[in-house]
Amino acid sequence: RATIGINLDLGWSVGTLRRIVAPEVGHVYHFAARGAVEGLSSDGILNEGLATWLSAPFWLADLGAESFESLIRSNMERGVYFGLVEDYEVDLSARAASGRECVELRDALYTQWAGFVGFLIDKYGVEAVLSATRLPAELVEVGRGEWRRGSQLDYVAAFGASLADLENEWLRRLAEE
């Protein structure tokens, strides 16, 4: 049994709300396929990227795009790109001047992660990605009863290549399309 929790901002547009709710439903499918609903799995990029990838019809329609790749390329042209290694634990609120900008950066980040997950699925298959999300997370307590990932997934163990190498291959593919 799992619970989806959303902190609602009454100022959100319907599209923003849909882009928040749809990936949460994606998490439900992901956790069911993973066989666990409790605790964090080992990688934020895979967890959030997979949930966003699963919500593609809603996510892309609300952002007016045909694909994650077209959105990522558009964001990169505007100078918005989060390095998968350098920005692994990025604090969007520290980079944003307003709540609206924070949501826009979150959309760009999750779009990017979904595109990367789509690349991994194309290269290795859905089961390989799901298997990687089953790997245990190293959790660190950050407060009374609150935990966060202490380290990222060992991509070499999961996919046979480092996160940096996979990111470079993915970026080359994006540039070629």
- What is the reported pLDDT for 125? 96
- What is the reported pLDDT for 15? 78
Partners of 49 in the β-ladder: none
- What is the reported pLDDT for 87? 85
Exposed, middle or buried by CB within 10 Å (0-12, 13-18, 19+), for 130? middle
Task: Say which residues have a Cβ less than 8 Å from residue 54's Cβ, sequence separation at least 6.
Answer: 23, 25, 26, 29, 30
- What is the reported pLDDT for 20? 78
User: Residues of the chain whose pLDDT is less than 50?
Assistant: none
The DSSP symbol for 35 reads T
- Contact between 60 and 68 under an 8 Å Cβ cutoff? The reply is yes
Q: In degrees rounded to 5, what are phi and psi of residue 86?
A: -65, -35
- What is the reported pLDDT for 19? 80
- What is the reported pLDDT for 161? 94
